[in-house]
Structure 1
Amino acid sequence: MQINTKEEDVPVLHEWSVDPTEAIELQKQLAPRVERENRLGEVRHIAGVDIGFEDEGNTTRAVIVVMTYPELEIVDQALHRAPTQMPYIPGLLSFRELPAALEAYAQLTVQPDLIMVDGMGIAHPRRLGIAAHLGLWLDMPTIGVGKSRLCGRYDDVPEEKGGWVPLVDRKETIGAVLRTREKIKPLFISTGHRIDLDTSVDWVMHCLTRYKLPEPTRQADRIASRRTVALRQS
C-alpha cells in the first residue's frame, strides 16, 4: 500500500503489507531508532490522532485534529477511511492502524509541532507502540496517550490530579501512569519520539480541560468514534 505524505522528503521506513513475523522483526529493528530525549521546539499547534473501525473491523477510520496552543481551538482536521490491512493482533496495532492515519495526516493544511496519539509510545513489549512508530515515520515529536496498560507494572497512583508513578517493565521505566482527574482512572503516558517522559507528562497536563483525556486526543476520539463529523474526508 502506497502512503501519500505531506512532505515529499519523509522517508519510507518499510512496506505495510507484512505478515506478523515480519512486523515483529521490523519493530525490533526500528525501536532503537526512537529518540527519548527532547527535540521539541516551539509548540503552536498540537495534533491528536485516534483510530476507530467500521464494518465489523473491515474498515479503518483514522482521524487527526490540529489545535492551537495554548488556546486549544481546532484549526484543522481530517478523516480517512481505508480497508483494514491486518487483523487485530496485540502488540502489532500500528501495522493495522497507521496506514490510514498517515493518509489522514497527508490531508492536513496546518502542520502540527507535536502529535498526541491514542495508544502507546515506548510502553510496548518491543518499545515500538503506535505513537513511537508514527513519530519515526514522520520524524516528529509524538506522545503516546493510552487508556489501558499494554505491559509493565506500577504502584498506586496518587488520587489528586497530576499525580503519577512510573510504569516499569523489565527494570526499565517505559512510561507514566498519570491521574488527569481526581479519583478517575489514570492514563498511560509514554514517550513516542523526540521527547522525554517528564516533558510528555507536562504536555498532557497542559492540554487538559475538564475531561480525563487531553483535548487533542479527546477531540480526535469524538470523530473516530462517529460522535461528530470531520471537515474533510477521503
Structure 2
Amino acid sequence: MTGLKPISPSPAVVEILDDLARAHRILEMEDHGDMSMGHLSFRDPEGRGAWLKRGNLGFEEVQPEDFILIDWDGNVLEGTGLRHLEWPLHTEMMLARPDINVVGHSHPFNAIVLSATGQALRAYSNEGVWFEEHGVPHFTLTSNLIDTRALGEAHAASLGASDAVLLRNHGASFVGTGVKECTLAGIFLEKAAKMQVAIASTGWKHTAPDHDEILTKRVDIYPERAKNNFWNYFNRKLAVREGRSWDPKYDAPMAPTT
C-alpha cells in the first residue's frame, strides 16, 4: 500500500466495498483467479461513476481500501493506484443496464474453454439453471482487451438482458443487482461451464431438462432465502480459508427462514 492515498467513501459505500473486497477473494477461492487480472466494480450510489478494483492485485489480495472511483469517462475521482485498462467494460454495462449495480470480469478456465467452442451454456446442473431465462451469449467481436468505450458498448450490447456473457478466447463477465447476485452468477457460471466441458469430454449421449422445467426449477432452487444462504456459506468458507472468525451475520440459521 506504499504511496497510495486512503479513499474517503461514505459509510454506505464503505459497507459495499467491504462486501466487494470479500467477493474478489471468494471468486479466487472458486476458481476465478488469474494472477493480477480480473476485476469487480459497483455503481457509485451518488451517480458519479463506478468503484473499481485497482490494478496489480490478485483477487485473493483485495481489501476494502483497494478501490478507485472513476467517472463514466474513466477519470479517477478518488483513490490512487493503477486503473485497469478494461474500465470501459464496467462503465458501459452500467450505462446500458440501469438494473446492474455490480459488474465482474475474470478469466475462469472452463468458461474460457466454452467460449472457444461457441456452444450455448446448457442447464446440465443446478448452476446452469441460473442462466436459463436469458441464456449466456458469446461476445465474438474480439478476444482482446475491452479497453475502449466502443468495445465496452459492443460488449454490453452482447450481454443484453443476461446475467453473464462469454468473451471468445478471453474470459467471462457477469453482473448483478448487488454484490451477492454478481458473485453467485460468477461462481455458478464457472461451475456450469465445468460441468458442460466434462460431459462433452465423455463422448456419451447426454441431455438437459426442457426449458419450462428449468424455469420452474429456477424459482424453486433460487428464492431469495437460498441466495442469502449461499452468500453466507461462501463468506464462512472464505473465513475458514483465511483462518479467521466470520461475522455472526453469516451464521447458518438453525431454523427455516422466509
Structure (1 or 2) with the larger CA radius of gyration: 2
Task: Provide TM-score, normalisation by structure 2.
Answer: 0.28
Task: Provide TM-score, normalisation by structure 1.
Answer: 0.29
